[in-house]
Amino acid sequence: MNMWIAQCKAEITRMLRNKYFVFWSLFMPILFYYIFTRVVNTGVADQEAWQAHYLMSMTTFSVMGSSIMSLGIRLVQERTQGWTLYMRITPLSHTAYFFAKMASQTLIHLFSILVIFVAGILLNGVSLTVGVWIMSASWILVASTPFLALGTLVGTMKRVDTASGVSNVIYMVLAVCGGMWMPVEVFPDLMQRIVKWLPSYNFGNGAWEIAAGHVPAGNSIFILIGYSIIFMLVSNYIRRKQEVV
Amino acid sequence: MNEVVSLKHVSKSFKNEKAVADVSFSIQAGEIVAILGPNGAGKTTTILMMLGLMEPETGFSTLFGNDPKSKKVREKIGAMLQEVSVMDGLTCREILTLVRSYYPNPLPVNELINLTGLEEKDLKKRAEKLSGGQKRRLNFALALAGDPDLLFFDEPTVGMDISARKSFWDTVRLLRERGKTIIFTTHYLQEADDVAERIIMFHKGRIVADGRPDVLKSKLARQTVSFVAENRMPLDEFWKLPNVRDVYRLGDRIYVLSDDSDRVLEALFQNKWNIRNIQTEQGKLEEAFDHLTQTGKREVV
Residue B242 pLDDT: 82
Per the CB < 8 Å rule, is A13 touching B146?
no
In tens, the pLDDT along A219-236 reads 999 999 999 999 999 999
**Contacts of residue A85 in chain B, CB cutoff 8 Å?**
53, 81, 84
pLDDT at B250: 79
Q: Is B81 near chain A, with CB under 8 Å?
A: yes
Chain B contact present for A98, CB below 8 A: no
Query: What pLDDT sits at residue A245?
Result: 52
Does the pLDDT at position A99 exceed 80? yes
pLDDT per residue, tens digit, chain B (301 aa), is 589 999 999 999 888 888 999 999 999 999 999 999 888 889 999 999 999 998 899 999 999 999 999 999 999 999 999 888 888 899 999 999 999 999 999 999 999 999 998 888 889 999 989 888 889 999 999 999 999 999 999 999 888 888 889 999 999 999 999 999 999 998 887 888 889 999 998 988 999 889 898 887 766 666 788 888 876 778 888 888 888 878 888 778 888 888 778 888 888 888 878 888 888 877 666 666 666 666 534 333 3
Q: In chain B, what are the domains?
A: 3-217 (3.40.50.300), 222-281 (3.30.70.100)
Q: What is the pLDDT, as a whole number, of residue B190? A: 80
For the residues of chain B, what is the DSSP string, one character each?
A: --EEEEEEEEEEEETTEEEEEEEEEEEETT-EEEEE--TTSSHHHHHHHHTTSS--SEEEEEETTB-TTSHHHHTTEEEE-TT----TTSBHHHHHHHHHTTSSSPPPHHHHHHHHT--HHHHTSBGGGS-HHHHHHHHHHHHHTT--SEEEEESTTTT--HHHHHHHHHHHHHHHHTT-EEEEEES-HHHHHHH-SEEEEEETTEEEEEE-HHHHHHHHSPEEEEEEESS---THHHHTSTTEEEEEEETTEEEEEES-HHHHHHHHHHHT-SEEEEEEEPPPHHHHHHHHHTTT-----
Q: Which of A31-45, A155-169, A189-203, B27-41 has the lowest mean pLDDT?
A: A31-45
3-state DSSP assignment of residue A116: helix
pLDDT of B296: 39
Least CB–CB distance from B51: residue in A14, A18, A89 = A89
- Residue B77 sits at the chain A interface (C-beta within 8 Å): yes
| Residue pairs between chains A and B whose CB atoms are closer than 8 Å | 68
More confident site: A38 or A149: A149
* Contact with chain A for residue B142, Cβ under 8 A: yes
Look up the pTM and report it. 0.82
DSSP letter, residue A78: H
- Chain A hits for B86, Cβ within 8 Å: 81, 83
Which residue range(s) make up the domain with A161?
2-244
Of B83, B94, B101, the CB nearest to A13: B94
Q: Please check the confidence at residue A4 and state whether its pLDDT lies above 70.
A: yes
CB neighbours of residue B82 within 10 Å: 15
Structural domain total, chain A: 1
Region A34-51 average pLDDT: 85
Tell me the one-letter amino acid at B134. Answer: Q
pLDDT tens track for A118-144? 999 999 999 999 999 999 999 999 999
